[in-house]
Amino acid sequence: MSLLTRDGWLEAHAYLRPVGELCTRIERAAAGLDAENAAIPDWDLYAADYRAGVPLLASPDAAIELEPAGKMLESLVGRLASDSAGGKVASEASALAAELRARPGASRLVMDWLLGEEAFDPPSPGLLRYLGWTAAARYLFPVVDAFGRWRDEELWHRKYCPTCGSPPAMGQLVGVDPGRQRFLSCGRCGTRWRYRRTQCPFCENDSQKLSVVAVESEGGLRIDYCDTCKGYLKTYDGQGNEALMLADWTSLHLDVLAHDRGLERLAASLYDLESLRPQAAE
Ligand SMILES: [Zn+2]
Ligand SMILES: [Zn+2]
Percent of the chain with pLDDT over 90: 74
Distance (angstroms) between ligand 1 centre and the Cα of 85 equals 31
Distance (angstroms) between ligand 1 centre and the Cα of 11 equals 30
Query: Is the pLDDT reported for residue 108 higher than 50?
Result: yes
pLDDT at 136 (0 to 100): 97
- What is the value of pTM for the model shown? 0.92
**158 Cβ contact partners less than 8 Å away, ≥ 6 residues apart:** 53, 193, 195
pLDDT band at 176, cuts 50/70/90?
confident
Digit-coded pLDDT (tens) for 44-75: 999 999 999 999 999 999 999 999 999 999 99
- CA atoms 102, 105, 111, 116: torsion sign: negative
**127 Cβ contact partners less than 8 Å away, ≥ 6 residues apart:** 89, 92, 93, 96
Give burial (CB, 10 Å; 0-12/13-18/19+) of 260. Answer: exposed
Per-residue DSSP letters for 197-224? SSB-TTT--B-S--EEEE-TTSTTEEEE
Digit-coded pLDDT (tens) for 249-269: 999 999 989 999 999 999 998
pLDDT band at 219, cuts 50/70/90?
confident
Distance (angstroms) between ligand 2 centre and the Cα of 210 equals 9
Distance (angstroms) between ligand 2 centre and the Cα of 226 equals 5
> Which ligand is in closest contact with the Cα of 201?
2
CA distances to 17, 58, 142, 273 from 256, rounded to whole Å, are 16, 33, 34, 8
Average pLDDT over the chain reads 91
Residues 136, 114 contacting (CB under 8 angstroms) = yes
Residues 107, 67 contacting (CB under 8 angstroms) = yes
Mean pLDDT over 208-227 rounds to: 86
> Which ligand is in closest contact with the Cα of 56?
1
Distance (angstroms) between ligand 2 centre and the Cα of 116 equals 23
Mean pLDDT over 196-219 rounds to: 87
pLDDT at 280 (0 to 100): 39
Cα 233 to Cα 202: distance, rounded to the nearest angstrom: 9
Mean pLDDT over 219-241 rounds to: 92
